[in-house]
Structure 1
Amino acid sequence: MKKVIYQSFTGIVLAIFLLACGGKKDEQQQAPPPPTPVTAVKAEKGSATYYDEFPATVTALREVEIQPQVAGNITGIFFQDGQRVTKGQKLYTIDPQQYRATYDQAVANLNVQKANLNRAQKDADRYNTLAQQDAVAKQLVDNANATLEANKMQVAAAQAAIQQVATNLKYTTIYAPLDGTIGISQVRLGAAVAPGSTPLNTISEDNPISADIQIDESQIQRFLALQNRRNSASDSTFILMLPNGQPYKYPGTIRIVDRAVDPQTGTLRVRIAFPNPEKQLKPGLNGNVRVKNSTGDPQLLIPYQAVTEQMSEYFVFVVGDSSKVSQKKVTLGARINEKVIVKNGLNEGELVVTEGTQKIREGAKVQVSQPGQPGGSRPDSSSRQTAAK
């Protein structure tokens, strides 16, 4: 009997022990995870000066194609390819022999017509004198006057012909129409040229020089205001970025805002002039024009790396009460260096997670440290997403 009681007592004790161990195990399994270490900063207002970039093509403010106005063979080239030329400088000559002969012939014809006019004038004077004395038939007087008028018109026609052939003779010598840099000649000595053929050359005005950009129609008023504003020599509103990524050392100013919006693209061309004393900029060069944009008022800014993108929408994790995070949808503005403007969805002073976003989710408890302090997670490039402008 005692043995049965002892075995029952032992079984009860063992059951209690096992139950106690199982409870501790369940408690261990249900214990909350430790806070996730993250780095966070406060959303603060700051200066919102930034730059918009526009693709640009360098172009000459003035550029002239040298076209032949008469037909003939090139008999002279009076410049070096690529050199600077001045207005009125002789560039090409076209064989003038046929035009000079035509001119001489026109002059001779004019002299003949003048001689005929002189004779007709004398005849008309004589017949009109006789008519006053009633000593000649009226028909002869009328004929003499008609012949005089005809000779006057022939002289006028001969003079016009001389002007035409003189102009052709003048066009056999081609002069520079403006100061600038001339390109590589498209013809050689002896080449046959004619009006409407390939241009002989091109002259570009290279100082100042311009860069053309295309702006959206919504920005027209902004650029018109910039055009009307007086800029100083040190103003950096317009900076040209060269193809090598370096900024051009001279700032620009708006020279021309085009007259009409392109209905196909909804854009308007703006021409920005830049000093070019060292001839560093060449027409046709491609780059970007950076245009300073400042709202004038402080804007809410957060680090760019705090933003995550999901289905073309942008979110940040905000640390709230009890060190728990919540995800907020935000509307972003322009990116300014390592920061980005937040237009909507966030309040000034809220604590935004910048590092460790890939380790947390909605409602997670975190352990916050400031950037640069121990305990913060290491930056993770995978958490950086592109911000919308």
Structure 2
Amino acid sequence: MKQHIYPLRTKKLKGSIILPYFQGINGDRMVVPFIFWALFPLVLLTGCGGNDQKPEAQQGPPPKVKVAYPLRREVSEWDEFTGRIEAVDSVEVRARVSGYLEKINFVAGQKVKKGDLLFLIDPKPFQAQLNLTQAELERTQTKRELAKNDLARAEGLLKAKAISGEEYDSRNKGYREAVAAVRAAEASVYAARLNLQYCEILAPIDGRVGRELITQGNLVNGGGEATLLTTIVSTDPLYVYVDADERSILRYKRQHGPSLEGVEAQLEVADEEGFPHHGRIDYIAPSADPETGTVKLRGVFANADELLSPGFFARMRIRASEPYNALLLPDRALATDQAQRFVWVLNQEDKAEYRRITPGAHVGNLRVIKEGLTGQDRVVIEGLQKIRPGVKVSPEQITVGGEQ
């Protein structure tokens, strides 16, 4: 069979596209498939290269990481709860008698002492009522003295049989009635004197007073619909109420006893860290809330500088364990593999090894490691994303707690 060689030619189409083809001996054009031209450079490189192989690319330097030995320290575990600050004492100051408000004797927000004058209701009507009752008391006292003298004379006449027994009984009952009238008048005087005293509305507790809720000159009501005038809250100490879960309460009771009274507690507010306020537990609710399964605890904290205010949200933590020796690592050294926590540990050849661990409680910015490590393990603290199992690394030694 005679072989034919077809010269390669090209044809320029519209635009800048060049289409390669072969010219047959009979003038037919055979277009070369596109896939051939896509693979053609590879064929040339393979054919021309022979058996010469390019050397493999050199590996880069080992990745740099920071490693540290776990910190060994005596720690105590704490449970943290979110709660709200409340005043130990809080009073709504209301009028006890009706009348026109004559004077307001405080500045809104100031600190007051128990017994300080806050408001004055016009006392003149109550002074007049007191004068009237005192006059009535004097009248009844006079009638009592007269009845007493009549009874004394009746006793002598009865012995002399100068009056009947009925007359004596009448004078005796008249005297007893006069005595009762004096007692009633004395009670009226006492009530009138109280009403006059109630015109001066005094601070019932030490604390910080709120704003006046009614202005001078208004009529205020006493009795069942007493007018609210202002409020006073104590500021030092303060209570913090939190809701603790059932498991925590059981652990605390086994550790400290059923009342939890005196158990150490610490507090921080929104802009604080490290729980700088120290106090104690002084109350535990006698029963759990059936809807939430939680038990209310109350801590008491000093507030001499009045930094804390009733109504603030706060975080309170309670000591949950006795002090014990533990291994600690920064939380960023821990990685997660599905539900399992692990760390990277370097062997003697500076190669990374996967190590499962059991983390414990937080202690500041560190985490207790319950299981999986010893104090002699070099743990990767920074650069975890560069590590693969068995990969050699370039470690930089740092100290836990002082690496920042």
Answer whether TM exceeds 0.5 for this pair: yes
CA contact (8 A) 2:251 2:320 kept: no
SS of structure 2 residue aligned to 1:200: strand
1:157 to 179, 184, 188: 184
Q: Which residue of 1 aligns with 2:30?
A: none
Instruction: Give structure 1 stretches of 5+ with no counterpart.
Output: 1-17, 230-236, 374-389
CA contact (8 A) 1:52 1:291 kept: yes
CA contact (8 A) 1:44 1:349 kept: no
CA contact (8 A) 2:84 2:312 kept: yes
Tell me: CA distance 1:294–1:166, structure 2 relative to 1, closer, same or farther (3 Å). Answer: same
Q: Which residue of 1 aligns with 2:152?
A: 125
Matched, 1:253 2:282: no
Give the % identical residues. Answer: 25
Q: Which residue of 2 aligns with 1:272?
A: 300
2:390 to 342, 365, 370: 365
2:100 to 50, 63, 73: 73
Q: How does 1:1-389 map to 2 (within 5 A)?
A: 40-43=67-70, 45-48=72-75, 53-195=80-222, 196-206=225-235, 208-214=236-242, 216=244, 217-218=249-250, 220-221=252-253, 228=262, 240-245=267-272, 251-254=277-280, 256-258=282-284, 260=286, 262-264=288-290, 265=292, 266-277=294-305, 279-289=306-316, 295-319=322-346, 323=351, 325-328=353-356, 330-358=357-385, 364-371=389-396
Deviation of the 1:123 alpha carbon: 1.8
Tell me: CA distance 1:348–1:200, structure 2 relative to 1, closer, same or farther (3 Å). Answer: same
**Matched letter for residue 280 of structure 2:** I
Tell me: CA distance 1:246–1:321, structure 2 relative to 1, closer, same or farther (3 Å). Answer: closer
Separation in 2 of the partners of 1:308 and 1:153?
Answer: 89
Deviation of the 1:158 alpha carbon: 1.7
Normalising by structure 2, we get a TM-score of 0.69
Deviation of the 1:289 alpha carbon: 4.6
Larger radius of gyration: 2
**Matched letter for residue 395 of structure 2:** Q
CA contact (8 A) 2:237 2:302 kept: yes
CA contact (8 A) 2:68 2:381 kept: yes
Q: How many residues were matched structurally?
A: 339
Separation in 1 of the partners of 2:101 and 2:315?
Answer: 41
Separation in 1 of the partners of 2:392 and 2:275?
Answer: 47
Tell me: CA distance 1:255–1:73, structure 2 relative to 1, closer, same or farther (3 Å). Answer: farther
Instruction: Give structure 2 stretches of 5+ with no counterpart.
Output: 1-46, 399-404
Tell me: CA distance 1:247–1:176, structure 2 relative to 1, closer, same or farther (3 Å). Answer: farther
Separation in 1 of the partners of 2:65 and 2:208?
Answer: 61
Separation in 2 of the partners of 1:52 and 1:142?
Answer: 81
Deviation of the 1:350 alpha carbon: 3.6
SS of structure 2 residue aligned to 1:82: coil
CA contact (8 A) 1:37 1:367 kept: no
Normalising by structure 1, we get a TM-score of 0.71
RMSD: 4.1
CA contact (8 A) 2:76 2:320 kept: yes
CA contact (8 A) 2:242 2:296 kept: yes
Tell me: CA distance 1:76–1:337, structure 2 relative to 1, closer, same or farther (3 Å). Answer: closer
